[in-house]
Amino acid sequence: MDEEHTSIKASYGVTQHTIPRQQSLCALTILQDTILIVEDLDQEPATLLDFAFVRSLHMRFYAGYPLPTSAGYNIGALCLLDSHPRTLSSPEQHRLQLLARLTSQLLELRLHLQQRQPVPSPDWTSLYDALHTALLQLDESDAQLRHVHTAGWAASLYQHKIQQRADTIVYTLQRQITALQARLLS
């Protein structure tokens, strides 16, 4: 993110790569040190923004967590968008926070490694593959959760198991990143 633009570095469902900063909810997210949640963008418009971009995507929900550097500067945000209003449960908020921290760690690790060696190390390539696999697994878990529309204890149990699986994936990735940081940065 710079003074005038927000660059979308990785996305699922959003095809635009750069948007004006004044149309970016991420620009508000980086001004704080915690999660920003707007459950219904039609009901809770932020007065600091021009919502043309968000409205063009027909987005109604936003949740974002800032991406801080080790020096404490928020350089971007990890965000979720949905075309329907919704809430974000406490476990989902915690998972978004963990993923944002992991993203920050990965960005700093990558920058540090690029300064040490311009060619990606086998460890980095292995971690990248693990990250790709983890994201595919999280996407699969999300798809499974979206198809559970029935009520009752069986559906609740199924949803809980899928959420536990997502947490396990995130924690496994966290351990891999921490181990790689310790090995490569020592």
The pair phi, psi for residue 79, each rounded to 5°, is: -130, 160
Q: Please state which CATH class domain 1-86 belongs to.
A: alpha beta
Write the pLDDT tens digit of every residue in 126-172.
Answer: 877 888 888 788 777 777 766 666 667 777 777 778 788 888 888 88
CA 122 to chain CA centroid, nearest Å? 25
Report angle CA 152, 156, 162 to the nearest 5 degrees: 150
Amino acid, res. 177: I
HSE of 152, CA atoms in CB hemisphere, 13 A: 5
Q: What is the pLDDT of residue 146?
A: 66
CA 186 to chain CA centroid, nearest Å? 28
131's tokens: 């990250």
Q: Which residues of the chain have pLDDT under 70?
A: 12-13, 44-52, 119, 145-151
Does the predicted TM-score (pTM) go above 0.85?
no
Residues of the chain with CATH 3.30.450.40: 1-86
Contacts of 30 (CB under 8 A, 6+ apart): 1, 66, 67, 74, 75, 76, 77
Q: What is the pLDDT of residue 37?
A: 94
